[in-house]
Amino acid sequence: MKHEQRSLELRHSMCSEQLSQRVKMGDHLEVPREVDHTAYFAKRANAESAAAELAAQGYSVAVSRKGFGSFALEAHIDSDVEWETVDEFVPRMFDLITKHHGVYDGWGGTVVLRERE
């Protein structure tokens, strides 16, 4: 459990850095965009069960083989990336992926620039 807690803390730290960079670039965090989540699994069955759970929550999902003995899950959904939203979806995604014996690699999405005045 301590390892999982450290991993989640690392995810939060990485999210804070990503959001800070987005703000510096002029990203309009409140604008919904496709947000991509990636996770890795040793067993296809675990990736598929996580994908099914995410699909039931409205995510578009795909599972693919990534090298020998590894499967990638990609899940996409439209969302804003405001601080509160990210603070809510990261632990939820982390817990879901961990429950299915996977490793949550994080999230990403396009930068929506503010119009110049």
**What domain range includes position 31?**
2-109
Residue 116 has pLDDT above 60, yes or no: no
Q: Could you give the 3-state DSSP secondary structure of residue 36?
A: strand
Segment 42-96, tens digit of pLDDT: 999 999 999 999 999 999 999 999 877 799 999 999 999 999 999 999 999 999 9
Q: Long-range contacts for 18-25 (Cβ within 8 Å, ≥24 apart)?
A: 18/108, 19/81, 19/83, 19/86, 22/81, 22/111, 25/111, 25/113
Neighbours of 99 (CB within 10 A): 12
Q: What is the arithmetic mean of pLDDT over 32-51?
A: 97
The CATH number of whichever domain residue 49 belongs to comes to 3.30.70.970
Residue 117 forms part of a structural domain: no
Number of compact structural domains in the chain: 1
Q: Is the pLDDT of residue 2 over 50?
A: no
Mean pLDDT of 27-56: 96
Judging by beta carbons within 10 Å of its beta carbon (0-12, 13-18, 19+), is residue 61 exposed, middle or buried? buried
pTM summary value: 0.85
